[in-house]
Structure 1
Amino acid sequence: MNQLLSPIFRTVVALVTLSAAALSANAQGIAGDVKAGETKAAMCIGCHGIVGYQNSFPEIHKVPKISGQSDKYIIAALTAYKKGDRRHPTMRGIAASLSEQDMADLAAYYASHADATLPETAQAGNAAVTALVEKGACLSCHGANFSKPLDPSYPKLAGQHADYLYVALKAYTVEGNQYVGRSNGVMGGIAKQFSHNEMRELAKYLSTLDSELKVVPQPRFR
């Protein structure tokens, strides 16, 4: 591993420990209900329940696959939008309307869609991609197959839309914009190491991997 990444890696380990403790405490207080989440997901299916649906802000890209993500990650992401650590206007507005119970129910519903049997390690990319994965120390947080993160509040990346991953990576490098960007010290430090072309190559590779992530097609109205 690149020695320059050692401080980042140590920070990651420390944050994982704190995050796991916080999540454990939260899990003891609020349990998600899949059936309740299915009903509450009516607000989500207009984007996340349509195969190939695209978002036009801050640039055109497919909305992320959230079916199959872990419940802890979905809660962490929604909480970040609600707090303003993630600054997408639409998602901030939606998250602001959700209680902790709503988040837990939605997270339980979308996590229940994970049913794939995955390899223990991801298929190798080319030499350039392998170097990018090592440069970002990606496996240390997201798992050897990019679907078993070290901490369940981290996202599964394997099989996610490439254009979404590219936009997400760029968001971690944005500062001082009230509508675009994500505040995360670890990911900010990692993302800023990459050029936009490198982000595209890394995102393209991750999108080709075997995955639990999917879009569960649903009508806009039901």
Structure 2
Amino acid sequence: MNSFQLVLSSLVVACASSLTVHAQDLQGDAAAGGKKNALCIGCHGIKGYHIGFPEVHQVPKINGQGAGYIRSALHAYKAGDRKHPSMRTLAGSLSDQDIADLAAFYESTGTGVTLPAQAAEGTAKAAALVTQGGCTSCHGANLSKPIDPSYPKIAGQHSDYLYVALRSYKTNDKPLIGRGHPIMGGVAKQFSNAELKVLADYVGSLPGEMQTVQRDRVK
């Protein structure tokens, strides 16, 4: 294990112990969450939907994402650790119980597919970058089985979103853009943007459990 991966492992333990508070303090109700997602489906319930901030990219798939990660992300938006303006406003309108319910609902609505135990390697360049970043150390061997509930499944996520998200971890000095996270900040800052693009394209090409469930038409 190299020095970076040793530090990464230490950070995983430290962050996991602090982030599981939100993951365990409230019981989420998936049925209740399904009745609270009117604001969510405006972006996440339209297949192929793109947004233009901070650049044009598809909104992430969240159906089938882990509940612990959705909780962690929404609390980070609410606290301002993630600086996306519309997501921060939305998260700020939610109670802790709302967040728990929404997370439970979205976790319950994945593809249901069985994934391989280990992700295909992809190109030699992609494999080298995955190894350098220690991606499987947190996200699992198939990049869809994270070692802690507060970490996301990433296999099969939209590659353009992944690229924007990875770059955001390198940004700490802008009021409306950036994500504060000690582990991902350390990982992303190792790489050039071109290398992050290779990583994002590779991860996005993998089979995954997440999907976008098309919202019902307004009658």
For this pair of structures, how many residues does the alignment match? 218
Shift of 1:219: 3.5
Q: Distance in 2 between matches of 1:137 and 1:195?
A: 16
Paired-residue identity, %: 52
Equivalent in the alignment of 1:111? 107
Where has structure 1 moved over 6 Å in runs of 4 or more? Answer: none
Deviation by residue 1:117-162 (Cα, 9 ceiling, x = unmatched): 1111111111111110011000000000011001011000000000
Q: How does 1:37-76 map to 2 (within 5 A)?
A: 37-76=33-72
Q: TM-score, normalised by structure 2?
A: 0.95
Q: TM-score, normalised by structure 1?
A: 0.94
Q: Distance in 2 between matches of 1:24 and 1:180?
A: 25
Equivalent in the alignment of 1:162? 159
Equivalent in the alignment of 2:9? 9
In structure 1, give the amino acid aligned to 2:215: Q
Shift of 1:8: 2.6
| Contact 2:171/2:179 (<8 A) preserved | yes
Where does structure 1 lack aligned partners over 5 or more consecutive residues?
none
Selected match of 1:182 from 171, 179, 182: 179
Q: How does 1:1-222 map to 2 (within 5 A)?
A: 1-20=1-20, 22-23=21-22, 25-26=24-25, 30-114=26-110, 115-219=112-216, 221=218
> How big is the alpha-carbon RMSD for the aligned residues of Structure 1 and Structure 2?
1.4
| Contact 1:46/1:220 (<8 A) preserved | no
Instruction: Check 1:65–1:152 CA distance in 2 against 1; reply closer, same or farther (3 A cut).
Output: same
Q: Distance in 2 between matches of 1:184 and 1:75?
A: 15
Shift of 1:183: 0.4
Q: Distance in 1 between matches of 2:64 and 2:105?
A: 9
| Contact 2:19/2:72 (<8 A) preserved | no
| Contact 2:23/2:149 (<8 A) preserved | no
Shift of 1:181: 0.3
Where does structure 2 lack aligned partners over 5 or more consecutive residues?
none
| Contact 1:2/1:135 (<8 A) preserved | no
Instruction: Check 1:2–1:221 CA distance in 2 against 1; reply closer, same or farther (3 A cut).
Output: farther
| Contact 1:68/1:111 (<8 A) preserved | yes
Q: Distance in 1 between matches of 2:159 and 2:134?
A: 19
Q: Distance in 2 between matches of 1:220 and 1:46?
A: 11
| Contact 2:23/2:68 (<8 A) preserved | no
| Contact 1:166/1:203 (<8 A) preserved | yes
Shift of 1:99: 0.1
| Contact 1:45/1:219 (<8 A) preserved | no
